[in-house]
């Protein structure tokens, strides 16, 4: 990523944080799904199918416009595999037209030099790839061996920030793979993050000794790994709950391919309101609503976005809709969702909160 682009993105991120600190009445991050179909079939994933058509581009434009109306700061495109949408660049351009930060999560298989240049020209600002292992196996084909050439293309051509996410826990056969993947990301100049997997029942188990060693080692990678900022992962690594204020449905929205707003990818079904009907009143309601699923939540992007309001506005009555895991709730993804379209956000949030408190105290 060019230095000028990096500085420009950093300035936009800081502006987003300042807006978020000054007002709680708008969306900070939205995930939007333009296609549920995927070109892979990873054994752990329930976030895809192999038949759904892409959402019509005109409909995607209307949804992006509505997110802009809700004063959304960041829009991350996910799936399925979003690069399978035939007009993905048009969607990115629409996000940028409204001044929102544009991010994308992909398995990387469809990245070519031509596609990377097209994403540059569309104005993409952040891309994330999750790499699960070194060698492909029957669980996941998202391996470093298959994707390394794609990473080299990105290092050479991408004008946007790139994050490589690796995973440990939950029975991953070779936790040491995550360390190798992280080292490779750093070598290529990318940011890196680490996801902790929960089991098929949605429960978090403490890391074993080998996983704990890898986890601690990756945390030493300094500025290249921005997962280090979060106390959430410390508790998840030990199988402990977190005490935090989930602002899903307010500061974070998950918009599925049907255009419905959900708390997140792992709590689909509520609010279940069409995006075109979602209002600032809905945002305010969900901002102050406690979520029963929050203590054992593994959705990293919701946690990171909610940090901006962690110190203020206690939440009220529990929502009766998102059930704690294991109480009849369908888990739709086995992985911690670590999507970070803004690498500077964790550190900047901490500083921003301190600055705002000093002003308030004065």
Tokens of 99: 């001044």
- Separation of alpha carbons 288 and 302, rounded Å: 15
Characterize 340-354 residue by residue with b for buried, 16 or more Cβ atoms within 10 angstroms of its Cβ, and e for exposed: bbbbbbbebbeebbe
Residue 106 domain flag: yes
Q: Is residue 207 part of a domain?
A: yes
- Count of C-beta atoms within a 10 Å radius of residue 156: 10
On whether residue 53 sits in a domain, the answer given is yes
pLDDT(96) > 50: yes
Q: Is the pLDDT of residue 340 over 60?
A: no
In the numeric block, which tokens belong to residue 194?
């680490």
State the pLDDT at residue 298: 78
> What order of strands is seen across the sheet that includes strand 126-130?
191-196, 161-168, 126-130, 101-106, 74-77, 29-32, 252-255, 260-262, 271-274
Number of alpha helices (DSSP H) and beta strands (DSSP E) in the chain: 11, 11
- Please measure the distance between the N-terminal and C-terminal CA atoms of the chain and give it in whole angstroms: 40
Beta bridge partners of 261: 255, 273
Q: Is the pLDDT of residue 310 over 50?
A: yes
Q: Write the pLDDT tens digit of every residue in 160-182.
A: 999 999 888 755 678 899 999 99
In whole angstroms, what is the distance from residue 210 CA to residue 73 CA? 39
User: Looking at the domain assignment, is residue 306 inside a domain?
Assistant: yes
**Residue at 361 is within a domain:** no
Cβ 27 vs Cβ 251: under 8 Å? yes
* Residue 164 domain boundaries: 3-356
Write down the pLDDT at residue 290. 94
In this prediction, residues 322-345 reach a mean pLDDT of 42
Q: How many domains does the chain have?
A: 1
Is the backbone peptide bond immediately before 271 cis, with ω within 30 degrees of 0? Answer: yes
Share of the chain above pLDDT 70, in %: 81
Tell me how far the alpha carbon of residue 326 is from its chain's centroid: 23
Q: How far apart are alpha carbons 292 and 325 in whole angstroms?
A: 9
The answer on pLDDT for 271 being more than 70 is yes
* 195 vs 155, residue with greater confidence: 155
Neighbours of 355 (CB within 10 A): 12
- Using alpha carbons, list the distances in angstroms from residue 247 to 64, 195, 234, 327: 21, 21, 21, 22
**Mean pLDDT, residues 343-354 taken together:** 44
Contact 194, 187 (CB under 8 A): no
Q: How confident is the model at residue 89 (pLDDT cuts 50, 70, 90)?
A: very high
In a domain? residue 362: no
Give the mean pLDDT of the chain: 84
In a domain, 192, yes or no: yes
CA distance 304 to 346: 7
Distance from chain centroid for Cα 135: 25
**Which CATH number is 159's domain given?**
3.20.20.70
Give the model confidence (pLDDT) of 107-136 as tens digits. Answer: 999 999 999 999 999 999 999 999 999 999
Span of 67-81, 200-214, 253-267, 290-304 with lowest mean pLDDT: 200-214
Burial 293-331 (b: 16+ CB within 10 A, else e): bbebbbbbbbbbbbbbbeeeeebeeebebbbebeeebeb
CA dist., res. 12 & res. 341, Å (int): 12
The model's confidence at residue 344, banded by pLDDT at 50, 70 and 90, is very low
Q: Which two tokens stand for residue 357?
A: 């408190």
Determine, yes or no, domain membership for 44.
yes
């Amino acid at each position: 990523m060019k230095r000028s682009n990096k500085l420009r993105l950093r300035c936009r991120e800081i502006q987003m944080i300042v807006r978020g600190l000054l007002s709680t009445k708008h969306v900070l991050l939205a995930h939007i799904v333009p296609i549920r179909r995927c070109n892979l079939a990873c054994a752990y994933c329930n976030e895809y199918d192999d038949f759904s058509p892409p959402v019509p581009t005109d409909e995607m434009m209307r949804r992006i416009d509505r997110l802009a109306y809700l004063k959304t700061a960041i829009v991350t495109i996910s799936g399925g595999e979003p690069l399978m949408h035939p007009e993905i660049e048009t969607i990115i351009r629409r996000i940028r037209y409204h001044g929102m930060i544009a991010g994308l999560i992909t398995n990387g298989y469809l990245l070519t030099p031509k596609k990377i240049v097209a994403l540059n020209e569309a104005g993409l600002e952040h891309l994330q790839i999750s790499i699960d292992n070194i060698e492909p196996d029957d669980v996941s084909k998202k391996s470093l061996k298959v994707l390394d050439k794609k990473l080299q293309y990105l290092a050479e051509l991408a004008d946007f920030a790139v994050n490589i996410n690796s995973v440990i826990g939950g029975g991953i056969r070779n936790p040491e793979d995550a360390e190798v993947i992280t080292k490779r990301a750093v070598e290529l100049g990318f940011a890196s993050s680490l996801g902790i997997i929960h089991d098929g029942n949605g429960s978090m188990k403490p890391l074993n000794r080998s996983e704990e060693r890898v986890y601690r080692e990756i945390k030493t990678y300094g500025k290249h790994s921005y997962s280090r900022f979060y106390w959430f992962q410390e508790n998840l690594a030990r199988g402990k709950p977190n005490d935090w204020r989930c602002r899903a449905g307010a500061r974070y929205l998950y918009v599925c391919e049907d255009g419905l707003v959900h708390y997140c990818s792992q709590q689909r079904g509520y609010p279940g309101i069409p995006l075109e009907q979602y209002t600032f009143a809905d945002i305010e309601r969900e901002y102050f609503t406690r979520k029963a699923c929050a203590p054992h939540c593994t959705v990293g992007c919701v946690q990171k976005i909610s940090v901006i309001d962690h110190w203020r506005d206690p939440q009220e009555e529990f929502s009766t809709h998102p059930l704690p895991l294991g109480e009849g709730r369908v888990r739709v993804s086995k992985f911690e969702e670590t999507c970070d379209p803004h690498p500077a956000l964790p550190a900047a949030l901490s500083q921003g909160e301190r600055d705002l408190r000093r002003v308030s105290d004065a």
